[in-house]
Amino acid sequence: MGMHRRDFLVGSALGTLSGLAGTSAYAASSSSDVVEWQATELATAIRSRKVSCAEVMQAHLDRIARVNGNVNAIVALRDPKALI
């Protein structure tokens, strides 16, 4: 089964926002760098408990808050408390 449209759009928006700060190789385990990791890197870090799912989500929400005013990629966002 292929990727659903919503998953693609959410992934594209987060990828766009994540890419605004540039790219990096596998980053150190600070949550501020998490938004630059590839999905496989995130999965490995979460599985090995180097970072939690909540930390990953919070890092992405922080990035959205910092840059979305300039790019308007996310037009509707739920309350962060409801997402974590």
| Per-residue pLDDT of the chain in tens (84 residues, 90 and over written 9) | 555 566 555 565 555 545 544 433 333 445 458 999 999 999 999 999 999 999 999 999 999 999 988 988 888 888 888 888
On whether the CB atoms of residues 37 and 51 are closer than 8 A, the answer is no
Output the pLDDT for position 41: 94
Q: Is there a domain that residue 4 lies in?
A: no
What is the number of domains present in the chain?
1
The helix or strand, by DSSP H or E, that contains position 83, with its residue range, turns out to be helix 80-83
Q: Is there a domain that residue 32 lies in?
A: yes
Domain that holds residue 56: 24-83
Q: Is there a domain that residue 10 lies in?
A: no
Output the pLDDT for position 9: 55
On whether the CB atoms of residues 18 and 36 are closer than 8 A, the answer is yes
Q: Is there a domain that residue 15 lies in?
A: no
pTM given for the model: 0.57
Question: In 3-state terms, the chain is what percent helix, strand and coil (to 5)?
Answer: 60, 0, 40
Q: What is the CA radius of gyration of the chain?
A: 13
Q: Is there a domain that residue 1 lies in?
A: no
Q: Is there a domain that residue 70 lies in?
A: yes
Distance (Å, whole) CA 14 – CA 1? 22
